[in-house]
A and B are shown apart, each in its own frame.
Chain A
Amino acid sequence: MSTLASEIHLVKKRTVGRNPLCMHAGILSCLLFLILAPSLSAEGAVVRQPYLQKVFTTATDSSVTVVWRTDLNSADNSRVQYGTVEGVLTQEAFGTAITRGNVKDHIVTITGLTAATKYFYNVGTVTDEVQVTGTSEHFFVTAPNPGTTTSFRAWVLGDSGVGSAEQTLVRNAMLTETALNPPDFILHMGDIAYNDGTDSEFTNNHFAVYQDILRHTPLWPTLGNHEWNSLNFPGNFGPYLDAHVLPANGEAGGFASGTELYYSFDYANTHFIVLDSMQSARTPGSPMLTWLQNDLTLTDKEWVIAYFHHPPYSKGTHISDSAADSGGRMVDMRENVLPILEAGGVDLVISGHSHAYERSYLLDGTYGYGTSPNFVTPSFNTLLNDGHLLDAGDGDPAGQGVYQKNSGGNSHDGAVYIVAGHGGNIPSGTGGHPVMLRFDPTNGSVLLDINGTMLTMRNLQAGGLINDTFVIQKGPSPGTPIPPNGVINTPLQDLTISVGTSVSFSGTGTDPDGGPTPSLTYDWNFGTGSGIPNSAQQNPGSKTFSNLGVFTVTFTVTDMGGLGLPDPTPDTVKVTVQNPPSNFTAYNDLAWGTGQLETHITTFTSPNGGSGLPSSGQLVDFSTGLPTPVSLAVTGGEFLDINATQGANPTTGDAFTLFNGKVSGLGAISYVNDVNNSLILTFTNLDPSKVYDLAYFAHRNGYAWDRASLVTLSGAPAFTNTSSVGIDNLGAPLFSGAGDSSTRLPADNDPGYVARFSQIDPGSDGTILLTISFDGNVANQYKGKYGSAVRLVEE
């Protein structure tokens, strides 16, 4: 019933002073809507129709959050049923309703979705079944993979929530204009619910007005001054935050802000930054600005778009030059925030607050003028002469031409500033801000389209007229030939190797002109005197350096179709080939990527744990860093839980003597569950004419229990067991004598025991194995396969 009441209320409100026939038609349409509307369970009436939040895709997951509100009759066990075929909603996701006063907010996050895919859904609870039946309009489309150049459209709306006829006209104009290509999401500039952002104002002036859009189009909001009236700070609760589920943890891309008041998210090739110009501190060094700087440093997206409520430039219903206006927030945003945004390569800045449409030239560095309270922006001519108007044209492809920027995020390459506070409240103001090319005190909204390296924005008046269009084009003008680019993927950096060692080479060639990759040709030159012939393969693979010297390897990519193109700059890597060290000492850290203390060690570890570290390679000499001829490959084992595996550096015993200060005991590996799946360290290419000393250390801090590892040497015709003398945590001796090929190591290993074999004869094949397994005598011992580090000495 509350939905009916609010709809009737709204219709009445919108039709006051108009034709009474219209009012009755409105009420009738509402009644019809309710008759035809999705069925409502008597068990829980829907107060806010379902809407979408946090639609994002990361490298590992695609996720959507569905929110709706019911009365208290609803059960708490919220459920969304969904599927890719309309009416076949075979998948389910669950949540728990939050009771707020006399309503319940149901929030269900669906994860594990496929990127860029349309899903249909309904909402309800496990107890009440379906509360809103899914229709063809109840769907969500997951975000594309981050970084992809998928084109997308956003609807930019500001200062809308007055519940006026103008608000509805703005909405309808957008629906008409985008009927064939609706927006993928909405960016809201704040003042979503007038006058005070109360709960009922959100329901009536926002959710009721846009419910048919919000059920399939996610909205990313920023806090306006009218929402602030009902915001409880620093408790950070109130209707604005209750209504929205926003990425405070950096889960949608960018850095975690720890607050929903400001956040960021990625969509395709664009990074969106949402700031709070109302409540959060805006001074240099404040948490929000510190977060902003970090967030900007981390993004690698082509486009960066920032938005917040208070415009840095405006002469609409607010005057941005005046520190007295809006508590100086507009001045703060301009003077403190824009320098960071522009240093970070922002392309577009959008705001609201001023009830008009205003749009700037392509600007840069337009701040620092005047003093409090009047920071008067100089005239257009002064700004132009000072180099702050990077392009004083209109940016319209049908007019004076598009705004051109370099690819990527070059600092101070220019940004366009927009005020879009015309979404419903009554526009006014004089306009005429020196940075602004357009001023339109007419209700409307803005459409943002991004297609690869092209950004298009259009101002859409409430009457349906598009009266401003501009385009920012990244990269060179269409038609200008661009040289291709070659990047060496492996090796990643200069390296020093022993003579006779192989190095794997691979590269990537890209053609910014968009030509097909097969049209590129490749040329690898492995350096004069290396004796390795050039290769025309993109990935020539393993090459053995048999000559001593320093060789500059170049990778050149050429565009076959690009007549007259400049030669591409080859990518290079330097390979220094030296004689291998003899009588070396090599350390390998078996940790999961943490804790290595010195540079001249290797970190090969099992591939099964997901550490990202290599599982095989050449050992290096600890004193010189040079690769030794000996290779180590780590296989086997099964990783369970890194949190249970934190070891410690040895503080006593043989482990302290051999390993302290060389390799960390932190991050010991743990292998469990498969009794046969031992961890195996295979050493190859040992010199049969020499003898070796092999020591192994394991520590698993605080996890002794009854576990122990059994460390066994094999493949060596002769050796002497010189392991630490002691007992394990079951009271048994570690090994039985010098000829014993196995040694037990307790899991916690606080005494600093090592398994050690000296005078090892590697045999004619030069291969020895160290196997870490379980003893099998006690129930839990099969879980005892631990390792921190290993040392090999050639004597």
Chain B
Amino acid sequence: MNKRQVTKEKLEGLMSDLQRGSQSVKSSHISWVWGIAYLALALGCVGFVQLAIAHSGFDPEIAEITEELTKNPDSVDLLVRRGQVYRSYGKFMESLQDLERAWLLDRENRKVVLQRALTLSAMGRNEEAEVALDYFVQKESDPKRVIALAERAAIRGRTGRIGLAISDLTSAIQLQPTIELYLYRGQLQESMGKLDDAARGYDDGLAKLGNAIVLKKNLIRVKIAQKQFGAALALIDEEVARSSVKTPWYLQRAELLAIMGQPNASRLAYEQALAETNQMLAKRPTVLHLVARAKILYAMGQREDAIRDLQEALKKSPGYNEAEKLLQQWDGQ
């Protein structure tokens, strides 16, 4: 049973008490109207408290752990758990209080060290967090080092020590490759102008994690930035061959060919994209396809048709971010 239910039951008990009160009052020959008044008061109380609960961010999971902690206040596990949940809800002070207390109870407990470090980092207390993470990385050998390495990389990244951050991320990837690690490392490498490294990293990610779309797009972007147009084109063509719906790739192919100074080939790719988008629109007339067609038409010089598609998209999907941005951009030209 969670705290909310306890509260609710208490209120229901109060209501029941009030109802009993009303019965005794009734038995004393006082008007039944009093009973209704009491009942209304009780119902009002329930509603008010529930409204208050709703707007205070009350959470049954925290309530449940809190109730367990009242029985076992020195439980490091419970303190860590509540600290984690508080952090996940953005309540960093409450999280730190729990984790500091857990730390005082068991300074050698590495789980505590790590969770405390994560909360400190979330609070922007970088130096303290990094000290704790250094300790954890040195002492811990199991895969949880990945978490510490990634968090330390985040701290180092936001404090301008990009090289060290990249090094941490590389260590983390060696332990447990994930898309988030690859993306973050690539972003840092790109920010340093290390495009070769970034491309290699994305490539490695694609090899290890499968053909993740976000990594693939980043790799193509880097190849274009490196002016390795042929390689970028080959990557796009892989997707053209692979995908059942090719529009996004035709579109990117067309843009790239235009950069490469091949207007005829570019136009052909736009036409292919347009033909397929029209087919998709016939089957699934979604705003996503309308916006895609707008981009194609605009690139093909059909500005008015493109704007008409965007307006149609915004009519269907008011405030649709991408359509709004494009319309502003094109209207301004």
Binding site for B on A (CB under 8 A): 59, 195-196, 225-226, 228-229, 232-237, 248-251, 255-259, 278, 284, 287, 290-291, 293-300, 315, 317-319, 321-322, 324-328, 339, 342-345, 355, 365, 368, 373-374, 406, 408-412, 426, 428, 430, 492-493, 593-600, 612, 666
Contact = CB atoms under 8 A, between A and B. Distances in A.
A410 B286 contact: yes
A287 B214 contact: yes
A322 B54 contact: yes
Contact of A259 (B178, B230, B233): B178
B181 A234 contact: yes
Interface in B255-277: 262, 264-265, 267-268, 271, 275
A539 to B, nearest CB: 20
Given A196-B81, A428-B5, A409 B285 contact: yes
B317 A597 contact: no
Interface in B191-216: 205, 209-215
Contacts of A298: 243-245, 248
Contacts of A249: 209-212
Contacts of B243: 298
B180 A228 contact: no
Interface stretch (B13-21, B27-35, B144-152, B157-165): B144-152
B81 A368 contact: no
Given A343-B287, A409-B284, A596-B265, 16 more contacts: A225-B61, A225-B88, A229-B81, A232-B146, A248-B209, A255-B213, A258-B215, A259-B179, A291-B213, A300-B284, A325-B57, A343-B288, A410-B286, A426-B1, A428-B4, A599-B265
B50 A297 contact: no
B107 to A, nearest CB: 22
B328 interface: no
Contacts of B248: 294, 297-298
B212 A258 contact: yes
Nearest to A430: B50
Interface stretch (B96-104, B123-131, B296-304, B318-326): B318-326
Interface residues of B, number: 78
A410 B209 contact: no
17 contacts: A234-B147, A237-B176, A249-B211, A258-B205, A278-B88, A296-B288, A297-B289, A298-B244, A318-B60, A324-B56, A345-B285, A355-B60, A373-B55, A408-B285, A410-B286, A411-B285, A598-B264
Given A234-B178, A291-B214, A322 B55 contact: yes
Given A300-B283, A324-B55, A232 B147 contact: yes
Contacts of B81: 196, 229
B286 A345 contact: yes
B90 to A, nearest CB: 5
Contacts of B178: 234-236, 259
B85 to A, nearest CB: 7
Contact of B288 (A259, A290, A293, A325): A293
B214 A300 contact: no
Contacts of A296: 286, 288
B133 interface: no
A521 to B, nearest CB: 22
B172 interface: yes
Contacts of B308: none
Given A235-B143, A411-B286, A594-B234, A319 B267 contact: no
B283 A297 contact: no
A343 B320 contact: yes
Nearest to B272: A493
B292 interface: yes
A317 B3 CA distance: 11
Interface on chain B toward A: helix, strand, loop, or mixed SS?
Answer: helix
B330 interface: no
A521 B25 CA distance: 84
A287 B237 contact: no
Contacts of A593: 237, 240-241
A406 B286 CA distance: 12
Contacts of A236: 176, 178, 180
A792 to B, nearest CB: 20
A234 B245 contact: no
B153 to A, nearest CB: 10
B316 interface: yes
Contact of B180 (A287, A342, A345): A287
Contacts of A596: 265
B265 A428 contact: no
Q: 10 tightest A-B contacts by CB?
A: A258-B212, A324-B57, A249-B210, A235-B146, A409-B284, A343-B287, A327-B89, A258-B179, A599-B264, A319-B54
Nearest to B209: A258
B275 to A, nearest CB: 6
Given A229-B85, A294-B213, A297-B247, A600 B264 contact: yes
Contact of B316 (A225, A250, A412, A598): A412
Contacts of A328: 90
Interface string B229-240: 010011001001
Nearest to B179: A258
A611 to B, nearest CB: 8
A287 B179 contact: yes
B305 interface: no
A426 B5 contact: yes
Contacts of B211: 249-250, 256
B183 interface: yes
Interface in B29-75: 50, 54-61, 64
A374 B54 CA distance: 10
Most A C-beta atoms less than 10 A away, residue of B150, B180, B181, B264:
B180
A374 B286 contact: no
A7 B175 CA distance: 36
B252 to A, nearest CB: 11
Given A196-B81, A290-B214, A593-B241, A666 B234 contact: yes
A600 B320 CA distance: 39
A343 B286 contact: yes
Contacts of B240: 593
B84 A234 contact: no
B181 to A, nearest CB: 6
B145 to A, nearest CB: 8
A261 B288 CA distance: 24
B280 interface: yes
B7 to A, nearest CB: 10
Contact of B286 (A294, A319, A344, A492): A344
B43 to A, nearest CB: 12
B64 to A, nearest CB: 7
B225 to A, nearest CB: 18
Contacts of B289: 297
Contact of B230 (A319, A322, A344, A666): A666
B26 interface: no
A326 B59 contact: yes
Contacts of A406: 285
A411 B262 contact: no
A285 B267 CA distance: 28
Contacts of B319: 339, 368
A278 B321 CA distance: 23
A428 B8 contact: yes
A327 B317 CA distance: 27
Contacts of B180: 233-234, 236, 259, 287
B214 A597 contact: no
Contacts of A300: 244-245, 280, 283-284
B94 to A, nearest CB: 12
Q: Which of A196, A295, A409 has the most CB of B within 10 A?
A: A409
A549 to B, nearest CB: 23
Contacts of A315: 54
A404 B285 CA distance: 16
Nearest to A409: B284
Nearest to A251: B210
A426 B234 CA distance: 55
Contacts of B271: 493
Residue picked from A235, A255, A291, A365, most chain B C-beta under 10 Å = A235
